[in-house]
Amino acid sequence: MPQMNMVQAINDALRLEMRRDSRVVILGEDVGKVGGVFRVTAGLFDEFGDDRVIDTPLSEGGIIGAAIGMALYGLVPVPEIQFSDFIFPAYDQIVSELAKYRYRSGGEYPAKIVIRTPVGGGIRGGHYHSQSPESLFIHVAGLKVVCPSNPADAKGLLLASIRDPDPVLFFEPKRIYRAAKGEVDEGDYTVPIGKAAIARDGKDVTVIAWGAMLYECLEAANQAAEQGVDVEVLDLRTLWPLDIEAIVASVKKTGRVVVVHEAPKTCGLGGEIVALINEKAFLHLEAPPARVTGFDTPFPYTLENEYLPLAHRILPTLLETARY
């Protein structure tokens, strides 16, 4: 199998699905001739033309509104929002319309849309290019939310998302677009939505993460091992619906859990995960669940590495939780 980074794997998934299904169309700012700001859609305009790879005006509400109309008429649009920070002008379209069509029509008008967008920090983008807004969409009934951490999962999850009957927010951690590399099957395959994966086996404490933070957790786990603490790392892959069975199984095994995410702590997904663990695995806990997250501030520019929950911030919490 060839080696790919995440940009190449996502591009491969889009190309494969556009060849397989003529209903699939891409639209967004600079996705056509330029190939996207991160070049994720490079080459697709040349192969499929401007009626299937559509450069749009700088109007996120217009992009998503147009995509919803396309979906209701039977197309399968995959709109790109250039940065997740720019998705908020389209929030009303997503929450008030897209998320509700299948329910309000009794299943007669499902809107099959996958909204792709880069998320997270680590590229010196400052507070308008570094946010992690996943919890704002997880809170909305009718949406699925996916965030892969490696190229093979990115391809398989994107193919699964495009074929899923529900609308999907597909968050791509831009920090590891080219840093995360691995073997990727060139053929057609899917990774099931709603299934987490164990990235590292361990017995003393579970750490739950997704996207770029998975690698920080793996590094912290390696450092913890040098101090005699064996950490299990669980990669959620799908943020909603959560694989609560995998979470509970890991917590029952270790008795301790730490959740790591880039978004601010207050009302972040980590809080919901901790609540679910308390509901479903409380009697198996040997220590209070802990969170290592971004701070409740706008995302900073010069202090980016202080804001992000990097390995040096994760390690003390792992050790404290394991030794509680």
Neighbours of 67 (CB within 10 A): 31
Nearest alpha-carbon partner for 83 in 216, 212, 175: 175
Catalytic status, residue 129: yes
Phi, psi of 130, rounded to the nearest 5 degrees: -140, 5
Q: Where are the alpha helices (DSSP H) in 54-182?
A: 60-72, 91-92, 101-104, 134-138, 151-163
- Among 127, 129, 139, 284, the active-site one is 129
Distance CA 107, CA 101 (A): 8
Task: Judge whether 255 and 285 are in contact, CB under 8 Å.
Answer: yes
- Extract the runs of DSSP E, i.e. beta strands, from the chain: 3-5, 24-28, 53-55, 76-80, 114-119, 144-146, 168-173, 181-183, 197-200, 205-209, 231-235, 238-240, 257-264, 290-294
Catalytic sites, residue numbers: 129
